[in-house]
């Protein structure tokens, strides 16, 4: 795999864990325990979010399932996530993509279909997101006949991929796992079944948000996706994180605020700041925390979480992984796992601003 061979990648910071009840729940919801999730099984909210956002299970209203997998490849490549890149390459192999075709995708070759190329280029912009994507950048897709709802589904899918990319990159999940998985004879036997399953993820009609789903933190990011099957799933993930993270709601909100500040996303930063103020953090402390990752009322854990969150914004795996290794001793295992998920989710949310831009 030539594309990410040069990307520096540290040794994995976590060991996989066993958790029989959670594994049973995952099998029930997803049909299997995805190998990457084995590292995060000790966090309950993480599992709720992972099930809600599982890419193979999100029904697609507008996008072709094959295009969805192509987006996954391009985003993992752009995020320099060796783990997700290998995984997606394996899935593409199962879907029948030849090596030559996969390479065309990696290179965004001019031999690609015009629509595919425009969609993948847009996905890369959403993935990169600095500066945030504006409505004008969707013009090539609109010119090709894409509705705003279809573009938003592409944005959401890209953002969900970024979530899993960051979650795999931060603890340096071993990318060799993915290679081994797809080389196993069992996987080859199961390939036809998986192919049918992946391609069957069509939604027949829009899925409107309920009144309750339209309320809550970061509502603008969820509501802009109203009608898409992914929208209530994003709501579930955000609520699960804010309610269930062992970091506590304040540290969780701080991570969201830092990522919002770093990505130049005022809506996300504003939403997170409201949560911090509601939790009693003085406004001066919020300002100081976002400017310098420290303030009188911050705990050492909150300072470390904020400082690490900033490095989760940019796709520079080795730096992020070394930073994570440095701060890891400050956290319990569950807190560290929750920090990984929170930073990943904050990145997802900011990238949804590309969908909000279409409403402006």
Partner 1 sequence: MSRVALALALLALGLGALAVYLHGERGRLRRRLDAAGDELQRMQAAFGRFAPGAVVDRIVARGRPSDAERREVTVLFADLFGFTALSESLPPEALVALLNDYFGHMSRVIEQHRGQVAKFIGDGLMALFGAHEPNPWQANDAAHAALAMQRALGDFNAERAARGVPTLRVGIGIHAGPAVAGVLGSQALMEFTVIGRTVNLAARVERLTRTHDAAVLVTDAVRAQLDPRFRLELMPATAVRGVAEPVATWAVMGFDARGVTT
Give the interface with partner 1 as residue ranges (CB under 8 A): 2-3, 6, 78, 100, 103, 106-107, 124, 128, 130-131, 261-262, 264, 288, 291-292, 294-296, 298, 310, 314, 319
CB of 294 to partner 1, least distance (A): 5
Measure the CA–CA gap between 356 and 97, rounded to whole angstroms: 33
Q: Which is nearer to partner 1, 49 or 254 (CB)?
A: 254
Q: Which is nearer to partner 1, 185 or 296 (CB)?
A: 296
Q: Which is nearer to partner 1, 23 or 285 (CB)?
A: 285
Q: Which is nearer to partner 1, 124 or 166 (CB)?
A: 124
Q: Which is nearer to partner 1, 89 or 233 (CB)?
A: 89
Q: Which is nearer to partner 1, 203 or 288 (CB)?
A: 288
Q: Which is nearer to partner 1, 78 or 271 (CB)?
A: 78
CB of 203 to partner 1, least distance (A): 32
**Contact 142/111 with Cβ under 8 angstroms?**
no
**Contact 331/13 with Cβ under 8 angstroms?**
no
Helix (H), strand (E), coil (C) string for 9-42: CCCCCCCCCCCHHHHHHHHHHHCCCCHHHHHCCC
CB of 40 to partner 1, least distance (A): 27
Q: Which is nearer to partner 1, 77 or 246 (CB)?
A: 77
Q: Which of 118, 154, 153, 125 has the alpha carbon at shortest distance from 139?
A: 118
Q: Which is nearer to partner 1, 233 or 303 (CB)?
A: 303
CB of 288 to partner 1, least distance (A): 4
Q: Is 297 exposed, middle or buried (0-12, 13-18, 19+ CB in 10 A)?
A: middle
Measure the CA–CA gap between 193 and 180, rounded to whole angstroms: 19
Q: Which is nearer to partner 1, 44 or 289 (CB)?
A: 289
CB of 276 to partner 1, least distance (A): 15
Q: Which of 228, 240, 234, 241 has the alpha carbon at shortest distance from 213?
A: 234
- What does the radius of gyration of the chain's CA atoms come to, in whole angstroms? 19
CB of 236 to partner 1, least distance (A): 31
CB of 64 to partner 1, least distance (A): 24
> Which residues does residue 202 pair with via DSSP β-bridges, in sequence order?
60
Measure the CA–CA gap between 46 and 289, rounded to whole angstroms: 25
CB of 221 to partner 1, least distance (A): 20
CB of 287 to partner 1, least distance (A): 9
The contacts of residue 170 (CB under 8 Å, 6+ apart) are 13, 312, 320, 321, 324, 340, 343, 344
The contacts of residue 195 (CB under 8 Å, 6+ apart) are 94, 95, 96
Task: Estimate to the nearest angstrom the gap between the alpha carbon of 81 and the chain centroid.
Answer: 11
Alpha helices in 79-130, H assignment, sequence order = 82-94, 99-106, 114-128
The contacts of residue 139 (CB under 8 Å, 6+ apart) are none
CB of 249 to partner 1, least distance (A): 22
Which stretches does DSSP call E strand in the chain?
none
């Amino acid at each position: 795999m030539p594309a990410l061979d040069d990307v520096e990648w540290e040794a994995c910071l976590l060991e996989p864990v066993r958790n029989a009840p959670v594994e049973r729940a995952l099998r029930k919801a997803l049909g299997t325990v995805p190998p990457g999730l084995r590292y995060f099984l000790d966090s309950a909210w993480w599992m709720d979010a992972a099930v809600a956002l599982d890419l193979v299970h999100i029904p697609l209203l507008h996008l072709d399932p094959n295009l969805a997998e192509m987006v996954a490849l391009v985003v993992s490549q752009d995020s320099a996530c060796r783990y997700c890149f290998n995984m997606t390459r394996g899935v593409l192999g199962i879907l029948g993509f030849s090596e030559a075709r996969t390479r065309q995708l990696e290179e965004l070759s001019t031999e690609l279909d015009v629509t595919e190329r425009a969609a993948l280029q847009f996905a890369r912009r959403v993935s990169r997101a600095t500066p945030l994507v504006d409505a004008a950048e969707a013009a090539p897709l609109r010119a090709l006949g894409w509705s705003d709802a279809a573009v938003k589904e592409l944005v959401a899918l890209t953002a969900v991929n970024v979530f899993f990319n960051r979650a795999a990159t931060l603890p340096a999940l071993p990318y060799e796992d993915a290679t081994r998985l797809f080389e196993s004879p069992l996987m080859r036997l199961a390939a036809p079944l998986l192919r049918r399953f992946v391609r069957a993820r069509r939604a027949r009609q829009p899925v409107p948000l309920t009144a309750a789903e339209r309320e809550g933190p970061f509502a603008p990011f969820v509501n802009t996706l109203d009608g898409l099957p992914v929208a209530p799933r994003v709501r579930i993930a955000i609520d699960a994180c804010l309610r269930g993270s062992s970091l506590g709601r304040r540290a969780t909100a701080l991570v969201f605020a830092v990522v919002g500040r770093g990505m130049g996303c005022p809506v996300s930063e504003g939403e997170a700041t409201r949560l911090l103020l509601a939790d009693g953090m003085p406004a001066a402390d919020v300002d100081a925390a976002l400017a310098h990752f420290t303030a009188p009322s911050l705990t050492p854990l909150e300072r470390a979480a904020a400082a690490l969150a900033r490095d989760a914004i940019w796709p520079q795996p080795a730096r992020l992984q070394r930073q994570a290794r440095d701060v890891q001793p400050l956290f319990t295992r569950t807190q560290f796992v929750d920090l990984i998920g929170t930073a990943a989710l904050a990145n997802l949310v900011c990238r949804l601003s590309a969908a909000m831009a279409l409403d402006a």
